[in-house]
Amino acid sequence: MLKGLLLIIIILIAAIPGSAGATRWHEYEEGILASSATKKPAIIDFYADWCGPCVAMEQGTYPDPRVISEMSDFIAIKVDTQKRIDIETKYGVAYYPTVVFLDPQGKEIGRHIGYLGPEEMVEEIKQWRGKSPKETPGFEALYLLFLIFIPKIAGFIKRTF
């Protein structure tokens, strides 16, 4: 009961914009839950306070109205790599800033390493919007071919030997 109530609260919080004209940033666990619950993809910004390009993105890229508009279809997650080394390690992040794009099931669909200005960030978001996980490109087609041709190959081998 309490778990269900917590999930409803997370969904409601995720649906409420942070403030007019700003992206609502989530902590990692909250963001992953919100992404799954709302069926929205996620963007994870891995940063460090001492990283100049990270600070430049925080001050110039993320507040840009074009970026805010494009990010509205995503759950935005910020990970301070100095505090959450476990998450940094989980995603294999070695350089900052790194932006990772996840599907609603939490599977990585893409990433960008390095500084992104507003225009580049908009293009990255558009590139990864609606994509499948990068671990499985073409899997469905390969599986279909497998189902079609394996019985034929097995029949051929049986007749030949």
Q: Is 8 a catalytic residue?
A: no
Catalytic-role residue among 54, 77, 109, 121: 54
Catalytic-role residue among 14, 33, 51, 116: 51
**What 3 state SS string does the chain have?**
CHHHHHHHHHHHHHHCCCECCECCEECHHHHHHHHHHHCCCEEEEEECCCCHHHHHHHHHHCCCHHHHHHHCCCEEEEEECCCCHHHHHHCCCCCCCEEEEECCCCCEEEEEECCCCHHHHHHHHHHHCCCCCCCCCCHHHHHHHHHHHHHHHHHHHHHHC
Q: Is 145 a catalytic residue?
A: no
Question: Which positions are catalytic?
Answer: 51, 54
